[in-house]
Amino acid sequence: MTLHHVEIGDGTPVLLLHGYTIDHRLMLPLESVFAARPGWRRLYVDLPGSGQSPRLSGPVTADAMGEAVLGFIDTAIGDEPFAVVGISYGGQLARHVVAERGAQVLGTALLAPLVKPSGARDLPERQVLTRDEALLASLDPADRDIFTAIAVHQDEAGWEAFRDHVLPGIRAHHRSDAAALLKAYMLSKTPEDVFGAHHGRHLLVTGRQDHMVGWRDQLELLEHYPRMTYATVDGAGHNVHLDQPALVDGLLGGWLDAITRD
């Protein structure tokens, strides 16, 4: 299937995969890191049923999502070496890409990746680090409920980032497909069970206050990625790159530079 995407730049392809019930706009704050480093062709993709991409024609499952991503890779990238950035649900799909196209994959950057199903996760206690009551009172109640359910920084800066990069995708995704996906949310095969170890350059960044996927379960991935850098960022929830942009940008830039050196 043809997935809607935004393409920027020329050079080595890098595929950017967003999370559940949002779209490629969540990933656009990372663009400044790439813009400062010529030689990367960025492919910001809307997953099936999200943003402007079509819905899946069959059952909505994690495996079907993974196949759609692989089909996009075959069409848009072909047999070129490439890198992958995945956040949250996109992090699970990025690992699936390693399992299925590992010889082509230069490395992955996994931001708050989904690792375990709901109910099996080791999650920190829910925390709100900053809260502006006047701001929250001024918001549309529906927007406020979504924002406060996720954000650890419930202030002006946190709201602006959420409004511009998260909320548009939430409004655009297909609701019934999202509900169907929840019933088959995890891949039928754990990617690391397929490939064992991948020796590309990898980066894993989690938020210390991420109450949605946590940061402890992701430690298990390190055994499968011998060249992986792991960082747990304080002052960050699930949208770690929005909560601590300077730290995440620095880590992502270092990862890109390491791939370039290799």
User: What's the pLDDT score for residue 33?
Assistant: 98
Position 135 in a domain = no
User: What's the pLDDT score for residue 204?
Assistant: 98
User: What's the pLDDT score for residue 128?
Assistant: 98
User: What's the pLDDT score for residue 47?
Assistant: 98
Position 89 in a domain = yes
The CATH number that applies at residue 36 is 3.40.50.1820
Position 186 in a domain = yes
Position 43 in a domain = yes
Compute the average pLDDT of residues 82-109.
98
Band of residue 224 on the pLDDT scale cut at 50, 70, 90: very high
Helices (H) and strands (E) in the chain, counts: 11, 9
Residue 201 has pLDDT above 80, yes or no: yes
Residue 63 has pLDDT above 90, yes or no: yes
Compute the average pLDDT of residues 191-199.
98
Compute the average pLDDT of residues 88-109.
98
Residue 1 has pLDDT above 80, yes or no: no
Band of residue 43 on the pLDDT scale cut at 50, 70, 90: very high
Position 256 in a domain = yes
**In 64-183, which ranges are E strands?**
82-87, 105-111, 130-131, 153-154
Residue 119 has pLDDT above 80, yes or no: yes
Q: Are 17 and 47 in contact (CB under 8 A)?
A: yes
User: What's the pLDDT score for residue 79?
Assistant: 97
Q: How far apart are the first and last CA of the chain?
A: 33
Compute the average pLDDT of residues 81-91.
98
d(CA 158, CA 167): 12
Position 228 in a domain = yes
User: What is the residue range of 58's domain?
Assistant: 5-123+174-261
Compute the average pLDDT of residues 215-221.
98
Token pair for residue 23? 């779209």
Q: Which residues pair with 13 in a beta bridge?
A: 41
Q: Are 122 and 100 in contact (CB under 8 A)?
A: no
pLDDT one-digit tens code per residue, 141-158 = 999 999 999 999 999 999
Band of residue 88 on the pLDDT scale cut at 50, 70, 90: very high
Token pair for residue 68? 């759609």
Position 144 in a domain = no
Q: Is 149 helix (H, G, I), strand (E, B) or coil?
A: helix
- Sequence length of the chain is 262
Q: Could you identify the residue written with the tokens 């949002």?
A: 22
User: What's the pLDDT score for residue 235?
Assistant: 98
Mean pLDDT, the chain, as a whole number?
A: 97
Band of residue 123 on the pLDDT scale cut at 50, 70, 90: very high
User: What's the pLDDT score for residue 219?
Assistant: 97
User: What's the pLDDT score for residue 65?
Assistant: 98
Main-chain dihedrals φ then ψ at residue 81, nearest 5 degrees:
-65, 145
Position 161 in a domain = no
d(CA 27, CA 161): 11
Residue 45 has pLDDT above 80, yes or no: yes
Compute the average pLDDT of residues 105-118.
98
Count of structural domains, the chain? 1
Compute the average pLDDT of residues 1-7.
92
